[in-house]
Homo-oligomer: A and B are copies of this chain.
């Protein structure tokens, strides 16, 4: 009995985590496709969050940190087979009803936006089941809106298939800012081709009925199974050359190269060998592979023709047919490359399946004049979202986006489109950096090196997280959850380096933060940071006196050396963390500076920097700070005070959210206020607006300059910043190593190599 079977699947599948926030759901939208459906809903999730607290009116100037629960917006995306739709609606209904009925009330107060072919077919069923009004949203409009949403909010959403890379997915960012029109090819059961000019302007310029449904349908007939993913899996094991008639089969392989200049491998006739009455049995894998290639290649060719007809140089493929399946992407890309001779480029989306659903959601907000709900930026939750599993897709899948502050481009980037935050792409088996040539041989194992390095720190981070909440009875359990989630990431990343988009050190650190936050550990270092800040505050006066005693000619070098020394205090680097934990308060700035390799450092532009500084060319500097304690207070702050003394305005920019022992903007504000109480120059600069403090909008030890807070961007423009200072391995080496700015940039970091600490002081003039 089919319906019983469906319903038993539904119960087990729908009870998954992906629907756990249903009781606080605020809005829904649905995309009902011929075979797969997607739900998007917005919920209020409760997070533990740390708050820095201090009393402005007392003189103690002490600050403390509190953890509180706070609601935040979350967007949930769930994918399931359309045959489970009714069960899914039942599940939703029960959950909304269970939560004191408030959810149902919300649902009934505004129309439910539904897109996809099934919007028409299932309208009455949905209305009857949920008691709401269904409003159908145009599929193509939703698709385009959804595509624009994903490209805007999810970095590394877009990638191209590069056959010579391993894995063959190369992430791009080229369409994220709109720019030039592109062709959006949606491969569902059928195929639609849209010319997209911007998120609201597009035209359907073509399509074909040979789509995903054709592979699925013919594939089911040929293989005797109707499981789409099974069909793809079988196809991946086949050899189409046993089924297709190749150029070589017609012309004879030896002479093929001389005929029409065609390679003998080119398919002359898809399934061309299957008609021969020689009683040969064809294998299912061979047949399915041929079928997949036939359909994909044809779509690629048609897409190229429509792109070229409309002078579009970029094609974005989306729709359930792709499912991250390598062979499909390979053939689509091959088709586009072959027919366009490289003049048109094919791209794919990591979350292609969700475009229609999020589009319907956005359309709903627009129509209800509540678009403000989406204001700001949304970030992929790397802990709760399904990984991007190239080559298969099992049952349900989910994506969660957390709302964050509104973020924007850093205005001092010389060329926004040329900017890529990450220095090394660890996704690639062969270490790749376009600008490092030839790559150092040890970098061939760069991925393993960094994965091992961070995986080895799991225990340490788990321990610190649990210790950070001594009063919580659930801390142990949640610590274990963190470990499992984070370990799972390493397992997936090793099996599939592009499971979460491009694999970079930044990505690994983001996953770590997301897993901690998801396990209820928003800031494991809060107490350590506070303690280190207290120690550093205690040493600031003498540090400033020492610097003041130096001949002015020596000052720039001493400040940079101090800054590098301070940057040793990085609890994110395993080796240093052990050192710091072992030697504790015995290890101060001077000890750190002694550990540093003598000059010249690995990269040593100190002399150039000194002469630039003395030339007095700067008006205002923005300094992206790194660690708390010695780094911030004894390294960066004296450097900043010196700039102020030289008449250069200073903006200190710190993370909004916690990440390792990096200082947050909230801590920074408390600390600088405290410093002001005993360093009048700082108090003056602060009150006169010559010293500014800004939050970057980030919660990462790295820095993606495509996503900085509006506050930072505005300050840079208003203060006419002409010097960018970036500090720390994460911000200046793992990211931004090759970033180019429209003004000078000083990049400072300590490289913590085994048994060796060396400085990295690079000045890049504009």
Which residues of A are at the interface with B, using a C-beta cutoff of 8 A? Answer: 2, 34-35, 117-118, 120-121, 138, 140, 188-190, 204, 206, 208-214, 216-222, 226, 228, 243-245, 250-252, 255-256, 259-260, 267-278, 282, 287, 294, 297-298, 301-302, 305-306, 308-309, 339
Contacts and interface: CB of A to CB of B under 8 A. Distances in A.
Given A275-B216, A302-B301, A309-B308, A210 B270 contact: yes
A185 B294 CA distance: 19
A189 B255 contact: no
A34 B269 contact: yes
21 contacts: A2-B277, A34-B250, A34-B268, A120-B255, A120-B256, A121-B251, A189-B250, A208-B301, A209-B272, A210-B298, A211-B269, A211-B270, A211-B272, A213-B245, A213-B271, A216-B271, A217-B275, A218-B274, A221-B287, A226-B275, A226-B276
A312 to B, nearest CB: 14
Nearest to A258: B120
Contacts of A274: 216-218, 220-221
Contacts of A267: 190, 209
Contacts of A270: 209-211, 213-214, 217
B228 A275 contact: yes
Nearest to A297: B209
A34 B302 CA distance: 26
Contacts of A121: 250-252
A9 to B, nearest CB: 12
Task: List the 4 shortest-distance A-B pairs measured between CB atoms, nearest first.
Answer: A217-B271, A213-B269, A217-B274, A117-B250
A620 to B, nearest CB: 55
A212 B299 CA distance: 18
A26 B277 CA distance: 35
Contacts of A204: 260
Contact of A275 (B35, B244, B308): B35
Given A34-B269, A209-B269, 10 more contacts: A118-B250, A120-B252, A120-B255, A190-B267, A217-B271, A217-B272, A217-B274, A218-B274, A221-B287, A305-B305
A294 B305 CA distance: 19
Given A208-B298, A209-B268, A302-B302, A273 B120 contact: no
A143 to B, nearest CB: 13
A212 B269 contact: yes
A321 to B, nearest CB: 10
Most chain B CB within a 10 A radius of its CB, from A140, A190, A212, A255:
A190
Contacts of A217: 243, 269-275
Contacts of A276: 226
A328 to B, nearest CB: 16
A48 B274 CA distance: 50
A282 B245 contact: no
A189 B34 contact: no
Contacts of A287: 221
Contacts of A35: 275
Nearest to A35: B275
A2 B280 CA distance: 13
A472 to B, nearest CB: 49
Contacts of A188: 269
A259 B216 contact: no
A123 to B, nearest CB: 8
A222 B219 CA distance: 11
Given A190-B269, A221-B282, A221-B287, A275 B213 contact: yes
Given A214-B269, A268-B209, A269-B34, A251 B120 contact: yes
A717 to B, nearest CB: 45
A397 B103 CA distance: 74
A120 B250 CA distance: 8
A141 to B, nearest CB: 11
B220 A189 contact: no
A121 B268 CA distance: 15
A84 to B, nearest CB: 13
Contacts of A273: 217
Nearest to A272: B213
A278 B219 CA distance: 15
A118 B309 CA distance: 35
Nearest to A5: B277
Contacts of A120: 250-252, 255-256, 259
A221 B190 CA distance: 23
Contact of A244 (B118, B209, B271): B209
Nearest to A278: B2
Nearest to A204: B260
Nearest to A254: B120
Nearest to A118: B250
A294 B214 contact: yes
A685 to B, nearest CB: 63
A259 B278 CA distance: 48
Given A190-B245, A213-B270, A245-B189, A220 B275 contact: yes
A214 B302 contact: no
Contacts of A278: 2
Contacts of A219: 275
A225 to B, nearest CB: 9
Nearest to A306: B305
A217 B240 CA distance: 13
Most chain B CB within a 10 A radius of its CB, from A140, A226, A282:
A226
Contact of A221 (B34, B212, B216, B222): B222
Nearest to A225: B277
Contacts of A308: 309
A462 to B, nearest CB: 45
Contacts of A294: 209-210, 214
Nearest to A189: B269
A501 B138 CA distance: 48
A7 B271 CA distance: 27
Contacts of A221: 222, 271, 274, 282, 287
A90 B262 CA distance: 32
B189 A268 contact: yes
A517 to B, nearest CB: 41
A210 B296 CA distance: 12
Most chain B CB within a 10 A radius of its CB, from A35, A222, A273, A305:
A305
Contacts of A34: 245, 250, 268-269, 272
Most chain B CB within a 10 A radius of its CB, from A213, A269, A270:
A269
A524 to B, nearest CB: 49
A744 to B, nearest CB: 50
A305 B207 CA distance: 12
A2 B282 CA distance: 19
A436 B84 CA distance: 62
Given A121-B250, A305-B306, A271 B218 contact: yes
A238 to B, nearest CB: 14
A298 B276 CA distance: 23
